[in-house]
Amino acid sequence: MRQVARDAALLCDGVGERELAVVTLAALAHDVVYDGKPGDDERRSAEWARDQLTAAGVAEGDVARVEELVLATMAHEAPAEDLLAAVLLDADLAVLGSDPIGYERYRVAVRLEYSHVPEDVWKVGRTAVLRSLVGRPSLYLTEQARRQWSGKARRNLAAELASLV
């Protein structure tokens, strides 16, 4: 989560302090619930963020925006005009553009998170996820993220995909 917040801050060039704070809170909260249940994890993380931020006295508009951003990670889609959502989604995928050692750590961690899934089922599911990512015209929504991570990400994804088939 800290890496996502760090990478979101890198992509937030030109946004105001309030927007930076909102996207940072969303980055820190987006995976606070992570039980390997896509959709449910994001909804529960958004609910947690709402509860915690409301209890802390954060303005309702900012709470709602953090919740909205966390929920955007469910489908990993953002409206073209929503810079903060694009930043959060790109930061969430920044790990794909890691160096090979960093990507391998990520790959192993993801497999451990789904260790309850039998290997044959895992390979089918992971292959589908990787093919979906590789099939996107662009992995990243912001120009800065595309410049910084696209090449490495595509190489990492292709290598992992080749190891599964």
Q: What is the pLDDT of residues 140-159, one digit of tens each?
A: 999 999 999 999 999 999 99
Q: Rounded CA gap, 147 and 145, in Å? A: 5
What does the pLDDT look like over 35-88, one tens digit per residue?
666 667 889 989 999 999 999 999 999 999 999 999 999 988 888 899 999 999
Q: Domain count of the chain?
A: 1
Place of tokens 């809170």: 25
What is residue 134's predicted lDDT score, i.e. its pLDDT?
94
What does the pLDDT look like over 88-147, one tens digit per residue?
999 999 999 999 999 999 999 999 988 989 999 999 999 999 999 999 999 999 999 999
DSSP letter (8 states) at residue 139:
S
Residue 95 amino acid letter: V
Query: What is the average pLDDT value for the chain, to the nearest integer?
Result: 92
Place of tokens 């794909």: 96
Apex CA 42: angle with CA 71 and CA 145, to 5°? 65
What is residue 128's predicted lDDT score, i.e. its pLDDT?
95
Residue among 83, 69, 75, 61 at smallest CA distance from 28: 69
Q: Which helix (H) or strand (E) holds 162?
A: helix 143-164
Both tokens assigned to 77:
């889609």
Q: Where are the alpha helices (DSSP H) in 94-142?
A: 100-113, 119-134
Percentage of residues of the chain with pLDDT beyond 90:
80
Residue among 91, 117, 95 at smallest CA distance from 37: 117
What is residue 2's predicted lDDT score, i.e. its pLDDT?
83
What is residue 37's predicted lDDT score, i.e. its pLDDT?
67
The residue range of the domain holding 111 is 2-164
- 38 CB neighbour count, 10 Å cutoff: 11
What is residue 7's predicted lDDT score, i.e. its pLDDT?
94
What is residue 1's predicted lDDT score, i.e. its pLDDT?
60
Both tokens assigned to 138:
């662009």
